[in-house]
C-alpha cells in the first residue's frame, strides 16, 4: 500500500469531497496562494478557484461567524483556524451558535460546519500557540470532536466528517503533519465515534488520541521489554465517545492508563477514568493512572516544554505503576 504524509492525506480527503460536493467551501487565513501554514490546502486554490477557497482577514470572529451563516443557508463551509488557540476569539459563534442552533430551532436549522484546526506543543511556539483544547469542545453538547493520529485515520475521518450534517471540530496535531503511513488509493471512510485498537495486549490498557497515541505505542514497546503486555486504544473521537471499546479492553487487562497532551486537570482523561470507575470498577486490579501536561502555561524554552508535556517515559512510568500495583 502507498504511504502518504498526514498533511497529504488530509489534502486528498478535501480534494475528493470538494470535487463531489460543490457546496463545500474553504475559508481561512493564508489557505489559498500560500497553501495554509501547514500546507494542507496547497494547490486547492488553483483547482477550485477563489470562490471556493476563500482567503479571509485575520478575524476568526468574522469568518467563523460568517461560516455559521453559510452552513445554515445551504453551504458546507470548512473553516481553518491557523492555531487552535484562536478558537477563543470565535467562541460565541462556535459554542452558542453552531453547537446549539439545530436544537434551538427544533431541527429546522442545520449547521454542517467543519472546523479544521491544529493544536499541541513540541515546536517552541510558547503559551499562546501550543495549547491542546479538546476538552473545551468535548464539554459542549452539539459538537462532534475528532482527533486523528495517523494518515489513514486523518483521511478516513475527514471524509466522514465532511458528510456529517452536524458541526464537527477536526483537530490535527502540528507535529503529525510530516508523519507517514499507509493510505489506500481506493475510497474509504472511518466512522466517527469508533475507537481503534492500535496494539493488542493483556496486562494493561492505554487509552489515548492524537499525537500521544504514537507515544503510547512506543511506551508499550518499552514496557514489553520488561514483560508487560500493553493494549493501546486510539479513541479517535472524544465526541461521539466509544467507551465500550475501552470497557472491553479494561475488563480483559484489569488496568487502565489514560494519556493525553492536554492539561491533566479536568481533561478528557478524567472523564474516561470516571466512566470506567462507574461501569467496570469490579474489573480493575489497580488504580487508574492519568498522564497529561502539567497545569501550567506551555513554556517557550525547549527543556521546560519537554518537562511540561507528557512523553514516552511519562507513559512508561504510569504503565509500571499500574502493572505493579
Q: Where are the domains of the chain?
A: 3-182, 196-323
Q: Look up the CATH architecture of domain 3-182.
A: 3-Layer(aba) Sandwich (3.40)
Q: Residue 160 has which C-alpha cell?
A: 466522514
How far is the C-alpha of 214 from the C-alpha of 108, rounded, in Å? Answer: 42
Residue 268 Cα distances to 92, 259, 273, angstroms: 22, 9, 9
Q: What is the pTM of this model?
A: 0.97
Burial category of 231 from C-beta neighbours within 10 Å (exposed 0-12, middle 13-18, buried 19 and up): buried
**In which residue ranges of the chain is pLDDT below 50?**
none
Residue 85 Cα distances to 175, 180, 193, 244, angstroms: 16, 26, 24, 31
DSSP 123: S
> Known catalytic residue: 263?
no
Check: CATH 3.30.70.360 for 196-323? no
> Known catalytic residue: 185?
no
pLDDT at 287: 98
The active-site residue out of 12, 17, 29, 60 is: 60
pLDDT at 204: 98
Nearest Cα to 298, choosing from 85, 134, 149?
Answer: 85
- The H-or-E segment that residue 64 falls in is helix 60-72
The active-site residue out of 17, 76, 80, 129 is: 129
Burial category of 317 from C-beta neighbours within 10 Å (exposed 0-12, middle 13-18, buried 19 and up): middle
Q: Residue 194 has which C-alpha cell?
A: 469508533
pLDDT at 315: 98
CATH topology agreement for domains 3-182 and 196-323: yes
Amino acid at each position: 500500500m502507498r504511504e502518504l504524509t498526514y498533511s497529504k492525506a488530509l489534502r486528498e480527503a478535501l480534494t475528493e469531497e470538494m470535487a463531489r460536493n460543490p457546496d463545500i467551501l474553504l475559508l481561512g487565513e493564508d489557505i489559498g496562494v500560500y497553501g495554509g501554514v501547514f500546507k494542507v490546502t496547497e494547490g486547492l486554490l488553483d483547482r477550485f478557484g477563489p470562490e471556493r477557497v476563500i482567503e479571509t482577514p485575520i478575524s476568526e470572529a468574522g469568518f467563523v461567524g460568517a461560516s455559521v451563516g453559510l452552513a445554515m443557508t445551504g453551504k458546507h463551509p470548512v473553516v481553518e483556524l491557523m492555531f487552535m488557540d484562536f478558537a477563543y476569539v470565535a467562541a460565541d459563534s462556535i459554542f452558542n451558535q453552531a453547537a446549539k442552533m439545530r436544537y434551538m430551532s427544533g431541527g429546522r436549522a442545520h449547521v454542517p460546519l467543519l472546523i479544521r484546526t491544529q493544536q499541541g506543543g513540541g515546536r517552541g511556539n510558547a503559551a499562546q500557540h501550543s495549547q491542546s483544547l479538546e476538552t473545551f469542545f468535548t464539554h459542549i453538547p452539539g459538537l462532534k470532536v475528532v482527533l486523528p493520529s495517523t494518515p489513514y485515520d486523518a483521511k478516513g475521518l475527514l471524509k466522514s466528517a465532511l458528510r456529517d450534517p452536524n458541526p464537527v471540530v477536526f483537530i490535527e496535531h502540528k507535529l503529525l503533519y510530516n508523519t507517514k503511513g499507509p493510505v489506500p488509493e481506493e475510497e474509504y471512510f472511518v466512522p466517527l465515534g469508533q475507537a481503534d485498537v492500535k496494539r493488542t495486549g493483556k496486562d494493561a490498557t492505554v487509552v489515548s488520541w492524537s499525537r500521544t497515541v504514537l507515544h503510547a505505542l512506543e511506551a508499550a514497546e518499552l514496557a514489553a521489554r520488561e514483560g508487560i503486555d500493553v493494549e493501546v486504544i486510539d479513541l479517535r473521537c472524544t465526541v461521539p465517545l466509544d467507551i465500550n471499546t475501552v470497557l472491553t479492553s479494561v475488563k480483559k487487562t484489569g488496568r487502565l492508563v489514560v494519556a493525553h497532551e492536554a492539561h491533566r486537570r479536568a481533561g478528557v482523561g478524567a472523564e474516561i477514568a470516571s466512566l470506567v470507575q462507574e461501569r467496570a470498577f469490579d474489573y480493575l486490579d489497580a488504580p487508574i493512572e492519568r498522564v497529561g501536561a502539567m497545569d501550567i502555561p506551555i513554556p517557550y524554552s525547549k527543556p521546560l516544554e519537554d518537562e511540561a508535556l507528557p512523553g514516552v517515559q511519562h507513559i512508561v512510568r504510569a504503565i509500571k505503576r499500574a502493572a505493579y500495583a
